[in-house]
Amino acid sequence: MEGQNPLYERRRHSRFPVDFPVDYHHEGGGKAFVGKAVNASEGGLMVCLDESISTGSELIVSMLFNLGYEFTGIKARCRVIWKDVGLVSDSLGYQYGLEFLDIDEHDIVKLKRLRKSATDHMV
């Protein structure tokens, strides 16, 4: 696209890399599954899952992580925004972009602290 900056970020919230397991289940309950979070932002997550899920589906996602000396986590209701098949860091299966639909404000604060910690370690 001529005239556009290739580094232009269309997202409202910048992503940062993570490498954490996620537990998820479909909205309405049912069996819990495990996947892997690849990146995160205050607006959502990119995850790798073994299961094929349709875009538009809603999931309940939980992710545990260390934040300094604190072991904590987040839980959110998410919508599958996009889906791709491929290989991301040793993980065959499906890649998904998840948008947070319902997340506690305290969990947003944790994500902001996690982003700061991740970017501090990259420098």
Q: Is the confidence at residue 9, as pLDDT, over 60?
A: no
Q: Is the confidence at residue 90, as pLDDT, over 70?
A: no
Using CB atoms within 10 Å of the CB of residue 96, give its burial: 0 to 12 exposed, 13 to 18 middle, 19+ buried: buried
Domains, the chain, in order of start with CATH, read: 16-122 (2.40.10.220)
Q: Residue 72's CB: how many other CB atoms inside 10 A?
A: 15
Question: What is the chain's mean pLDDT, rounded?
Answer: 85
* pTM of the model as a whole: 0.83
Q: Express each pLDDT in 31-51 by its tens digit.
A: 999 999 999 999 999 999 999
pLDDT attached to residue 29 = 78
Q: Express each pLDDT in 12-36 by its tens digit.
A: 778 899 999 999 999 887 899 999 9
